[in-house]
Amino acid sequence: MTVAEPTFDLVVAANRLPVERVLDAGGRGTWQRSPGGLVTALESVMTGRNAAWVGWAGVPGPASEPFHQDGLFLRPVSLSSAEIAEYYEGFSNETLWPIYHDVIVPASFHRNWWNTYRTVNHRFAQAIAQVAAPGGTVWVHDYQLQLVPAMLRAIRPDVRIGWFDHIPFPPVELFAQLPWRRALAEGLLGADFLGFQRTADAENFLRVCRQLLGMSTKGDTVTFTPPGDDPARRTVRASAIPISVDYKELTALARTPAVLARAAEIRASLGDPEILLLGVDRLDYTKGIRHRLKAYEELLRDKAVAPPQVTLMQVALPSRERVEAYRLLREEVERTVGRINGEYSVLGSAAIHYLHHFYQRAEMVAMFVAADILLVTPLRDGMNLIAKEYVTCRNDLGGALVLSEFTGAWHELHQAFICNPHDIEGVKQTIMRAITTPEDERRRQMKAMRKSVADHDVQQWAADCLEALASAPQKPHRRTRASEEKRRSVERANKANRTASDNASEWMAQ
Ligand code: F6P
């Protein structure tokens, strides 16, 4: 006799579970927290709710039995080794990821990867259908699961379906390259509400619906007749609700004596530099690490900075190591770090401290508290939660943030020292501005950025997304005016900021 699985009013589905299966020294399987920003963001929202999470456990092979952890019901989805290669490394990270990140590296198109992507998305849809309560809410996440909304609707038309895009959504000209563009867009249109990081991402999606699918859009909605036998017209809403961090948890952690002591220890172990520059990134070509190193190398060459007074600690979190572009990037970054250190380090003090490891949360927070300047210079990034985490951890209003204008975070943290990472002179100048700006001015900037994150933390983000989903395709009533006002004020500030940064670059070029 098969026992029916329990069902839940809220089901989250993401490529990864918040925990992953690892083997301990004795070869026994244990569960360990998964790496990654999505898990960090959602975990705090899900914990304590009567909810289920459907996702992959991070290892090949049959799925483990569902289980409860911290009040959450976790429902693992299996992936074979071939599926990991074709659905995760292949279609998700060698086809979609480059297309969605401005084709910084070329995208690969393979029909067998696409077929596997479809198979795995269908498996996710079935697993969700089993655990979603009648009339329940399902919240699907990210580019790995873009077909799930329509597949799930076909099995369970009774549930409300939301999808959130954690990465950029590309301009129609790039999306159009995908041989499966129609199926991908129609997959998303199975949802009631589609959430994006920036208004520009939502607009890109609506443009895809109009220009590639011939659908009609009005404001932030698209109305269409779904393919198949069902003649009912549907309206889907697509709009921006930027993700954030757990402000309360992080500020509290950053204040603990253990973290403060560790921060002092980190500085001491680096020889107590006057200025500690920090970079913390997944080792991904989108993060602009090579551009950052180039700018730093030139500052060393120009003698604008030098160890032991100034040093850079670059944390490169291991990521997608079996994907060729990531392997090549690692080689290049490590070669560059070696060259820079050979040229510019002095006895007892390195120009760059390079660390290719995962770190526990408390250790990362200690690094943020220790650093004088955080360098966040992606070429393209959906949000960049590291930037928001950094300002959140600076209870002391110390520190400074150098931030690329190609991050989602730029739209909210416009008081940061803004740079265009492609403009190496501009990056150098921005780093020097961050170093030389008077402390009271930096403190004012930090205060404003912290307020912006505190006002829109991850709990607020989740509440806004779920509210938007509940009322879609209508806008949720309560927040409309306030969020519109906020959006307009952010846009005004962005415009002013862009003009200021353009003026500064032009001035430098003179
Ligand atoms: O930002 C997109 C994303 O998929 C996140 O959800 C995740 O934390 C990160 O990239 C790392 O991805 P992966 O699961 O491939 O390690």
Residue from 166, 285, 388 whose mutation best tests the ligand 1 pocket (most atoms within 8 A of CB): 166
pLDDT in the model for residue 510: 29
Report pLDDT for 3: 57
Instruction: Give the residue, out of 33, 34, 38, 163, with the most ligand 1 atoms within 8 A of its beta carbon, to mutate for a pocket test.
Output: 38
Cα 15 to ligand 1 centre (Å): 9
Q: How far is the CA of 365 from the centre of ligand 1 (A)?
A: 20
Ligand 1 center to residue 394 CA distance, Å? Answer: 25
Q: Does residue 104 contact residue 326 with C-beta atoms inside 8 Å?
A: no
38 CA to centre of ligand 1 in angstroms: 7
Ligand 1 atom having least distance to the Cα of 88: 15
Q: Enumerate residues lining ligand 1, CB below 6 A.
A: 15-16, 36-38, 142, 166-167, 319-320, 382
Within 10 Å of residue 388's Cβ, how many Cβ atoms?
31
Q: Identify which of 12, 16, 388 to mutate to test ligand 1's pocket (most ligand atoms within 8 A of the CB).
A: 16
* The ligand 1 atom nearest the CA atom of 382: 1
Kindly report the pTM of this predicted structure. 0.91
Q: What is the pLDDT of residue 477?
A: 81
Question: 255-262 contacts: CB < 8 A, separation 24 or more?
Answer: 255/395, 256/362, 258/362, 259/362, 259/365, 259/366, 259/369, 260/369, 262/362, 262/363, 262/366
161 - beta bridge partners? 138
pLDDT of residue 500: 41
- pLDDT for 38-87, tens place per residue? 666 677 667 767 799 999 999 999 998 999 887 889 999 999 999 999 99
Distances (CA, A) of 200 to 22, 281, 283, 436: 39, 24, 26, 34
Q: By the 8 A CB rule, do 34 and 19 touch?
A: yes
Residue of the CA atom closest to atom 9 of ligand 1? 36
For residue 345, the model assigns a pLDDT of: 98
Question: Cα–Cα distance between 291 and 285 in angstroms, integer?
Answer: 10
Distance CA 435, CA 385 (A): 23
Pocket perturbation via mutation, ligand 1, pick of 142, 384, 386, 407 by most ligand atoms within 8 A of CB: 142
State the distance from the centre of ligand 1 to the C-alpha of 93, rounded, in angstroms.
Answer: 10
How far, in Å, from the CA of 77 to the mean position of ligand 1?
A: 17
Q: Which residue's alpha carbon is at the smallest distance from atom 5 of ligand 1?
A: 38
286 Cα to the center of ligand 1, angstroms? 12
Q: What is the β-pairing status of strands 193-196 and 19-23? A: unpaired
- pLDDT tens digits along 257-314: 999 999 999 999 999 999 999 999 999 999 999 999 999 999 999 999 999 999 999 9
pLDDT for res 484: 52
35 C-alpha to center of ligand 1: Å? Answer: 8
Q: Which atom of ligand 1 lies at the shortest distance from residue 383's CA?
A: 1
In this prediction, the residues of the chain whose per-residue pLDDT falls under 50 are 1, 480-481, 490-492, 494-510
Instruction: Tell me which residue has its CA closest to atom 11 in ligand 1.
Output: 36
Residue closest by Cα to atom 7 of ligand 1: 36
Counting Cα atoms < 13 Å in the Cβ hemisphere of 483 gives: 17
Question: 276 forms bridges with which residues in the sheet?
Answer: 311
Helix (H) / strand (E) element for 433: namely helix 424-436
- How many Å lie between the centroid of ligand 1 and the Cα of residue 36? 6
- Is 286 within 8 Å of 104 (Cβ atoms)? yes
- 231 Cα: distance to centroid of ligand 1 (angstroms): 37
